[in-house]
Amino acid sequence: MQLPRKVIIGNSILKNSGEFIKNSEQSINKIAIISGKNVKNKIAGIIEESLSESNLQFEWVIAKEASFQQVDSVTSLLNDRNISLIVGLGGGRCIDLGKMIATRLRVSFVSIPTSASHDGISSPFVSLKGNDRPYSIKADTPIEIIGDLDVISNAPYRLIASGCGDLIAKTTAIKDWELARDHNNEYYGEYAAKLAQLGSRMVIDISKKIIKNEITAQLTRTIVEGLISSGVAAGIAGSSRPCSGSEHLFSHALEYITENKCGLHGERVGIGTIIMARLHNLDWLEIKDSLKRIGAPTTSKGINVDKDQIVEALLLAKKIRPERYTILNRLDISSSKYQDILDELGILD
């Protein structure tokens, strides 16, 4: 079981990041910061000043794409640089890259998210292009997570709404896990399941407090804490089961079909959760209404896909990861039946 040693969340804490990082390990030779160009331009000064004040050596690596090719090239670049810790600074792309590079180099990883778009900020899983499997694979868990709420709050609202979609997806992920326990004799972790489930219920409650796509500082903190807890649940379970079920398989299938031109991760799984909740005979309307209030897409138009692509993704989903037992394994649904269900749910524009 790999879990973060420390989680630090607060306002204007990036200026203390050097101290936090220095205290995360007994001895640090040099740090490599994996970041995007825009993020570096915005907050490099704060990070560099804090690291320098803590007498930490560092170098920047600008991430071009979230791919295994990029992992290979950066790992090769850093292999003889005496790096003892990797920092992933930015959104999901840079954090996943940093996580995988740290795993390859066998050094510690610190996650500093600049947005709250999905639970990868704390989980031991990464999703990168170039993998022969269109879903997440295991890496090492961050030893520390530093979440500056001022920075995260300044990210586009769409990213926070996407994070809510990823959290609400735990509703169906847990139901799929229960099915796998009951029908496929799979390990089921009660504590990890309850922890992940807490995040999905929290989003439904939060949705009732949002007015005109405006989230208060306290709600932002709650969402960030929920995403971190969700990733920790995966670490406790030793698999992505608490966080990822049929709704994620649908999302991966849609990515594959559209060549990743289908909205953000949390947006796709949010729509997937509406559909899979219907298949599980859950209250899908509550989920849909919650996502609507948050401002997340609930229709095919909202993620730039058409009816045929949605149906194709639903048919393909259970083949994406055959060993992962979900509601899609229990039901044999035809293309025409899926179209009827999508009409019923109001998914198709």
- What residues make up the domain containing 198? 165-345
Q: What does DSSP assign to residue 117?
A: S
In a domain, 319, yes or no: yes
Strand 85-90 to strand 144-148: parallel, antiparallel, or no bridges (unpaired)? unpaired
Task: Identify whether residues 291 and 209 lie together within a single domain.
Answer: yes
Residue positions forming the annotated binding site for glycerol: 119, 166, 248, 265
In a domain, 160, yes or no: no
Q: Report residue 129 CA to chain centroid gap.
A: 15
Partnered with residue 97 across adjacent β-strands are none
Residue positions forming the annotated binding site for substrate: 119, 166, 252
> 3-state class of 60 per DSSP?
strand
In a domain, 159, yes or no: no
Task: Identify whether residues 253 and 280 lie together within a single domain.
Answer: yes
pTM assigned to the model: 0.94
Residue positions forming the annotated binding site for NAD(+): 92-96, 114-117, 123
Task: Identify whether residues 224 and 271 lie together within a single domain.
Answer: yes
Task: Identify whether residues 200 and 304 lie together within a single domain.
Answer: yes
Per-residue model confidence as pLDDT tens digits over 208-258: 988 767 788 889 999 999 999 999 999 999 999 999 999 999 999 999 999
**pLDDT for 214:** 77
Domain count, the chain: 2
Task: Identify whether residues 11 and 96 lie together within a single domain.
Answer: yes
Per-residue model confidence as pLDDT tens digits over 274-311: 999 999 999 999 999 999 999 999 999 999 999 999 99
In a domain, 307, yes or no: yes
Cα separation, 232 vs 4, in Å, equals 8
Residue positions forming the annotated binding site for Zn(2+): 166, 248, 265
Averages of pLDDT over runs of 10 residues in the chain (349 residues) are 93 97 92 96 96 97 90 94 96 94 97 95 88 76 97 95 97 98 97 96 92 81 96 95 97 93 96 99 98 96 96 96 96 96 94
CB 108 within 8 A of CB 86: yes
Residue positions forming the annotated binding site: 92-96, 114-117, 119, 123, 166, 248, 252, 265
CATH number of the domain where residue 82 is located: 3.40.50.1970
Domain boundary (154, 177, 201) is at 154
CATH number of the domain where residue 318 is located: 1.20.1090.10
